[in-house]
């Protein structure tokens, strides 16, 4: 099982982690934002001051083949070997591309993830999925390659704005939906306008434990791990469409909107309770607003869904749905007509 540390003292805990992982050279990967906002929180460590610094452009648009090559080139030019250690300090983009760089450099070097966003902490940094975007498709190229350790500290979350907090929170909503009614009701109490960081820290760590329990049972997503895809088939389509149309959205917002469509499909196909569906719509619309789409966009969104890695064939779209909170129905193939109806439902629910 991947080692995950909940840290109240990231400097001391990181020093211990680095000392416990045998390595010859140390490198730190950040983006331009985390280099400015988050690196100072650990920079007092002498080993970090002496480490090779790799800085790439921020945001998910930086998860490209070109930036991957920049990381490889820096490692090569600065004497990295297969015994070197890479620390990924940043959000999901950094842990995704950094993890993939580690997986492929010298056929695999060790790495540590320090997620600096809520989304990274509850999603990208844990579970071993790594990758980059390619040819307009999200996470098209990647590998399963777990970090040696993941260090989670809420001290980094204080650098985040409301949008980034909510982006991560949607993944926590998903974890609650696939877990228990108790988890779901607890998360619905969240007030994004007055954040209780102590409560958030405990809730984040519990949310991560839900994911890790699933990943441990199915590390390569052959069965149970597909539960973690709830909201993501439509969500990734929204995200890819938004990027292509020049109005990019945060990943977690796309997942939240995708949850509306996919819980509707759950209601129609698996009997997911209407009360919980309406609760989800109310919370998501109130906190995440809406991404505007029209009927003319459905074909393009459907095309993105057909390219999703979860599909068994190129001509079908495979969903993870729910028959109730905590009752997961994987490998649900949904026809085009019903998918379009779910997009109609989304538009009606958010007032488009």
* Tens-place pLDDT, residues 276-332: 999 999 999 999 999 999 999 999 999 999 987 676 666 679 999 999 999 999 999
Report the chain's mean pLDDT, rounded to a whole number.
93
Q: If you write DSSP's letter for every residue of 196-256 in order, what string do you get?
A: -HHHHHHHHHHHHHHHHHHHHH-TTSSSGGGGGGTTHHHHHHHHHHHHHTT----HHHHHH
Name the domain boundary from 137, 159, 181. 159
153 and 37 part of one domain = yes
132 and 190 part of one domain = no
14 and 90 part of one domain = yes
In this structure, are residues 192 and 256 in contact, taking their beta carbons and an 8 Å threshold? no
Q: How many domains does the chain have?
A: 2
Total-model pTM: 0.84
CA 198/CA 34 separation, integer angstroms: 23
* Tens-place pLDDT, residues 113-131: 999 999 989 988 888 899 9
148 and 243 part of one domain = no
Residue 2, pLDDT above cutoff 80: no
Name the domain boundary from 159, 191, 219. 159
Tell me what the mean pLDDT of segment 328-338 comes to.
94
* Tens-place pLDDT, residues 203-247: 998 899 898 889 888 888 778 888 999 999 999 999 999 989 999
Q: Where are the beta strands (DSSP E) in the chain?
A: 4-6, 26-31, 52-56, 85-90, 110-115, 129-134, 137-144, 149-152, 318-324, 327-333
Tell me what the mean pLDDT of segment 91-118 comes to.
96
135 and 167 part of one domain = no
CA 113/CA 304 separation, integer angstroms: 29
197 vs 26 pLDDT, higher one: 26
In this structure, are residues 265 and 342 in contact, taking their beta carbons and an 8 Å threshold? yes
Full domain range(s) for residue 253: 162-349
Give residue 237's pLDDT. Answer: 96
Name the domain boundary from 159, 179, 214. 159
CA 341/CA 262 separation, integer angstroms: 11
pLDDT-derived band at 154, boundaries 50, 70, 90: confident
In this structure, are residues 318 and 233 in contact, taking their beta carbons and an 8 Å threshold? yes
Question: Measured at the alpha carbon of residue 310, what is the angle toward residues 291 and 179, in degrees to the nearest 5?
Answer: 75
């Amino acid at each position: 099982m991947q080692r995950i540390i909940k840290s109240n003292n990231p400097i001391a805990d990181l020093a211990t982690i680095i000392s416990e992982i045998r390595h010859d050279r140390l490198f730190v990967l950040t983006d331009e934002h985390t280099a400015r906002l988050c690196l100072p929180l650990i920079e007092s460590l002498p080993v970090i001051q002496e480490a090779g610094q790799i800085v790439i452009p921020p945001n998910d648009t930086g998860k490209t083949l070109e930036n991957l090559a920049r990381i490889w080139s820096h490692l090569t030019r600065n004497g990295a070997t297969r015994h070197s250690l890479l620390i990924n300090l940043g959000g999901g983009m950094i842990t995704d591309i950094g993890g993939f760089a580690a997986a492929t450099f010298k056929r695999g070097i060790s790495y540590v993830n320090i997620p600096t966003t809520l989304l990274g902490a509850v999603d990208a940094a844990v579970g071993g999925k790594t990758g980059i975007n390619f040819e307009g498709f999200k996470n098209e190229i990647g590998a399963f390659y777990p970090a040696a350790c993941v260090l989670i500290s809420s001290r980094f979350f204080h650098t985040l704005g409301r949008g980034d907090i909510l982006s991560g929170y949607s993944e926590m909503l998903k974890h609650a939906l696939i877990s228990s009614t108790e988890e779901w009701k607890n998360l619905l109490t969240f007030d994004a306008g007055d954040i209780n960081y102590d409560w958030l820290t405990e809730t984040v760590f519990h949310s991560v434990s839900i994911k890790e329990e699933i990943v441990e049972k199915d590390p390569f997503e052959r069965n149970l791990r597909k539960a973690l895809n709830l909201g993501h088939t439509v969500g990734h389509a929204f995200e890819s469409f938004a990027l292509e149309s020049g109005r990019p959205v945060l990943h977690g917002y796309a997942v939240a909107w995708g949850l509306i469509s996919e819980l509707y499909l759950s209601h129609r196909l698996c009997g997911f309770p209407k009360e919980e569906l309406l609760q989800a719509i109310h919370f998501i619309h109130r906190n995440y607003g809406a991404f505007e789409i029209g009927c003319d966009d459905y074909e393009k969104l459907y095309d993105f869904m057909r390219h999703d890695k979860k599909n068994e064939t190129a001509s079908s779209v495979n969903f993870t749905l729910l028959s109730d909170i905590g009752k997961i129905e994987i490998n649900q193939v949904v026809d085009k007509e019903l998918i379009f109806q779910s997009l109609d439902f989304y538009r009606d629910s958010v007032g488009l």
